[in-house]
Amino acid sequence: MRVAMYYSNKDVRIEEQDVPRIGPDELLVKIWASGVCGSDVLEWYRLPKAPRVLGHEIAGEIVEVGKDVQGRLVGDRVFVSHHVPCNMCRYCLADHHAVCDTLKSTNFDPGGFCEYVRVPAINVRHGVFALPDSMSYEEAVFIEPLACVYRGQHNTGWKPGRRVVVVGSGIAGLMHIQLARLAGASRVIAVDINKNRLEAAARFGADAVLEAGDDLPDRLAAANDGRLAELLIMCTGAKAALDQAFYLVDRGATILFFAPADPDARVEIPFNQWWWQEVTITSTYAGSPRDIRAAIELIGSGRLNVQDMITHRLPLDKTGEGFRMVAEAGPSIKVIIEPQK
């Protein structure tokens, strides 16, 4: 089978590998759609592990079922989660599935940018979800990133009427905007340095869009009836944005750090200002099975629009082009690879 082997953002090669052989408690899934995630192009994270077949936002069809697998059939349309928690450790039992040791060690074989993947037994047990008839394969690639978004907002508490500010209007930011609206936000403001992304934020429900800059706190207050953010969602790891976050929130607000930063990033906290204003700081990583089920319902019911976020559909042979689009943060929003083409 063909695989897109990652060497760097500018060097993704189409190579040949054998179709994986499955064991008695495993599945073989034919991939019909695979999304390029912003994390796929973080070279500081990816290069030490290269060469490797990346891709974790996948949807496909079961084409082989191990003899000991129950409840799965050839022909089933599924989303497969690459990282799965054990659901038994003290972290999982405390609803911190994303920091489970098992979750950090699991994956499918070889990755999402190829024609077929082997789904290991633990992923079969905890990470295979049937797609509703109402959901296309290309819509299903949003399940994993939306699950992460859902988890983030869930962890901040659902509070209708909040004034929400989303800094960073990439794919995660756009989903945060839509989900905040569904959760009853009274006002949603998007911030970015990229005009294309700000235009997209306005299309997907932001009440106002602001370019990032040193005077952002003043402009934010002016655009928000004199108030700062009650919930600030940081969908960027840019150092300047992280430093500014503490000056964008109102008293009693919550800051959700959603995106990674460079490995050596450090942020100085204005401690007394943070302390006396009762600002809550939290973070989130990955999605649990609960979050995945919520994402499937939101997409399958049509309550959250992902279809219009797709700007590019590319065959497997052009995976490298897709990586360059995402790395350059140009006019693309969501790039989907179709491995069977």
- pLDDT tens by residue, 208-266: 999 999 999 999 999 999 999 999 999 999 999 999 999 999 999 999 999 999 998 89
| Region(s) of the chain under CATH 3.40.50.720 | 147-283
pLDDT at 330 exceeding the cut of 90 = no
Question: Which residues are CB-contacts of 31 (< 8 A; sequence separation ≥ 6)?
Answer: 58, 59, 60, 112, 114, 115, 116, 117, 339, 340
pLDDT at 119 exceeding the cut of 90 = yes
Give the residue-averaged pLDDT of 60-72.
97
pLDDT at 270 exceeding the cut of 90 = no
What percent of the chain clears pLDDT 90, i.e. is strictly above it? Answer: 95
Which residue spans within 37-141 are E strands per DSSP? Answer: 52-53, 57-65, 77-80, 116-119, 128-130
pLDDT at 130 exceeding the cut of 90 = yes
Q: Is 294 helix (H, G, I), strand (E, B) or coil?
A: helix
Q: What is the CATH number of domain 2-142+306-338?
A: 3.90.180.10
Specify the pLDDT at position 271: 87
Mean of pLDDT over the chain? 96
**147-283: what fold?**
Rossmann fold (3.40.50)
pTM reported for the whole predicted model: 0.96
Specify the pLDDT at position 272: 87
| Region(s) of the chain under CATH 3.90.180.10 | 2-142+306-338
